[in-house]
């Protein structure tokens, strides 16, 4: 395996650590937060079958790592951008924890069961900004840079993922806006990471 490949693997590990250890640490040390539901959220219905696009999140987020694998310089910029979104989010969770009010689901079908499974895996905190919004959005922006045609195919999936966060009541509307803002902000300054020596 080439030296550049080891560097790329280390960047993947950095992202995984921030997304797992960092995220869970914020939930452990800040198990409660203030509710950020607004009147807008009362107009959003609970639609359990949106759990399907919700589950597509890791596929979209992982895709740029495959697309950029052969170009270390651009891969590094992409991976550090993802890491930056994660690091900023985890810092916000520690500094100002928020939470959402979830739906009271009475299981009537497999989609309801899947939503309850999602709820069981994740506490209703670490809400703002939504990583389920910021990371797929950032990934899609990088996909567009690499392959415009593929980007157009992925965009509807990303939109469904974003919508799923509020339709299955995993996030509030404000979480979505914050996630979108963070993704576009980091993407805009992505060239800062070109100079990082890794």
| Per-residue pLDDT tens over the stretch 175-190 | 999 999 999 999 999 9
Domain region containing 138: 3-195
CB 161 within 8 A of CB 137: no
* Rounded CA separation 193/19 (Å): 19
Q: How many domains does the chain have?
A: 1
Question: Of the candidates 161, 173, 87, 183, which has an alpha carbon nearest to the alpha carbon of residue 128?
Answer: 173
Q: The whole model's pTM is what? A: 0.95
Instruction: List residues bridging with 98 in a β-sheet.
Output: 34
The 10s digit of each residue's pLDDT in 65-88 is 999 999 999 999 999 999 999 999
pLDDT surpassing 70 at residue 49 = yes
* Rounded CA separation 197/177 (Å): 32
> How distant, in Å, are the alpha carbons of 67, 71, 80, 187 from that of 75?
9, 6, 8, 14
Question: What's the rounded mean pLDDT across residues 39-65?
Answer: 96
């Amino acid at each position: 395996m080439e030296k550049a490949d080891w560097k790329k693997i280390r960047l993947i590990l950095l992202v995984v650590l921030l997304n797992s250890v960092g995220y869970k640490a914020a939930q452990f040390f800040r198990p409660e937060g203030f509710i950020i539901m607004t009147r807008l959220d009362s107009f959003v219905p609970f639609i359990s079958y949106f759990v399907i696009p919700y589950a597509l999140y890791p596929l979209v987020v992982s895709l740029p790592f495959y697309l950029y694998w052969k170009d270390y310089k651009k891969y590094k910029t992409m991976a550090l951008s993802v890491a930056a979104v994660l690091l900023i989010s985890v810092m916000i969770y520690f500094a100002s924890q928020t939470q959402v009010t979830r739906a009271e689901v009475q299981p009537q079908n497999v989609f309801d069961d899947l939503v309850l499974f999602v709820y069981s895996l994740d506490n209703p905190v670490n809400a703002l900004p939504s990583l389920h919004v910021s990371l797929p959005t950032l990934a899609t922006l990088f996909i567009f840079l690499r392959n415009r045609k593929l980007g157009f195919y992925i965009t509807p999936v990303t939109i469904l993922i974003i919508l799923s966060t509020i339709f299955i009541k995993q996030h509030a509307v404000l979480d979505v806006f914050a996630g979108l803002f963070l993704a576009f902000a980091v993407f805009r300054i992505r060239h800062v990471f070109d100079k990082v020596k890794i």
